[in-house]
A and B are shown apart, each in its own frame.
Chain A
Amino acid sequence: MFVPARRSAFRHAGEVGEPIIKDYMDTWNIIPQLLISGITFGAIYALVGLGFVTIARASQIINFAQGEFVMLGGMVTFFLLKTIPLPYPLAALSAILIVVLIGFLLHLLVIYPLRKATLPILLMATLGASLFLSSSSALLFGTLPKALPPFSGSGPFEIGKVSVSPQSLWVLVATLLVLLSLYLLSHRTLLGKAMEASSTDALGADLSGISRHLMIFLAFGVSAGIGSIAGIFITPIFYVSYHSGTLIGLKGFIAAVLGGWGKHGGAILGGFVLGVTESLSVAFIPSGYKDAIAFIILLLILYLRPKGILGSPFIDSRRW
């Protein structure tokens, strides 16, 4: 049996999807470092959760292929950067465009034909789309995990005893910008209000002349864009491989539910709470259990407070 000799907290350090942390000896000394990495994780979950929220605010669909957009964002950028040597910003922009196109196609080919389908069928269809996207990206880009070069600077800089990678700051900035633009979209433009109307009251939206399917179509594009931005910003820190989309997507969804399903601020708050909790848990329990933490939080929040921390506009009654 290949049981590891020492079940250290950092057994997986350097592996796929794990931050590379120096192996400090004392548990309490690494707490600030874990906090920093937790905030980075939290920003990522928040970004992915915002993608879910965008679709939820335009229709009551939950798109399980959201994580694949994140994976594709990183993968396509890597492909454009390395195989067709494009300059970095151009590669990133074209990757976002390509993923937005994939999001539109997902709506046109899967969601729109199933507009009258019942819930289990829609659920299965988005899961099938997620399977298709991840396995075809394995075909197209190979199965090896990939990492993009960081946006700026090379090594991490030190604040006191804590080392912070510049890319983490980039992720935080991206989260803030996406949050800001989503807020402006849904609170300051007619388009955003039309999107929200098509989710809250389908008949009312139809009567006021809003094309509901167009709104859902646009929401899929926006959410694919957010997913790909997340993918591009996180691939310099964490290796992205063809199967890493599912777990990131699920955790983003958990973040959105934890903060308050359907609220932008909720996704952000939930993301940070989830990221920090997960990171800090590494100090106390073996890191293999880290993935279970998110799902335990999901079960607890669904049982104790399905509305989420901030409350949800879609889940109003006690029985839902």
Chain B
Amino acid sequence: MMMKDMKLSDIPKRNVHQVPEKYFDRLPMQIMERTAAREQVTAARSTPWWQPVRYAIAPLILLLLFVGVYFFSMQQEQQVLPVNIASLTNDEIMNYLNTYAQVETADFEEYSVADQELTAEFLNVSATTAEEELEYYRINDIDY
């Protein structure tokens, strides 16, 4: 019969696939071996839950420590919040300047020799000695 006229019912039902010899005799054994192997894996996995956890404890403590330090420093920064100067009264500003401004400008004050109790050793320094001293500390090299 030509294939062009062929219907499915005309084709005899046949299994064209083949298996190696005695395959189905061996298959149950292979399946039992595979189930046994899975059983061993399952047993190995059922170790106490804390076994793997104990390896994680040290890094976990370190992590918590870092997180703690980080949040502590964040809190410290938040406490030093900038003050809105516009909202301050003149008195408050004056009080602040009286309390803190002297300290900040002290470095720029002229050193009053009369007010200080300077040692004779300090006052009797010759020009040459002062030059040597400056040379020693290379003060002249410092560029301001």
Q: Check if A and B associate.
A: no
Query: Measuring CB to CB, which residues of chain A are less than 8 angstroms from any residue of chain B?
Result: none
Query: Measuring CB to CB, which residues of chain B are less than 8 angstroms from any residue of chain A?
Result: none
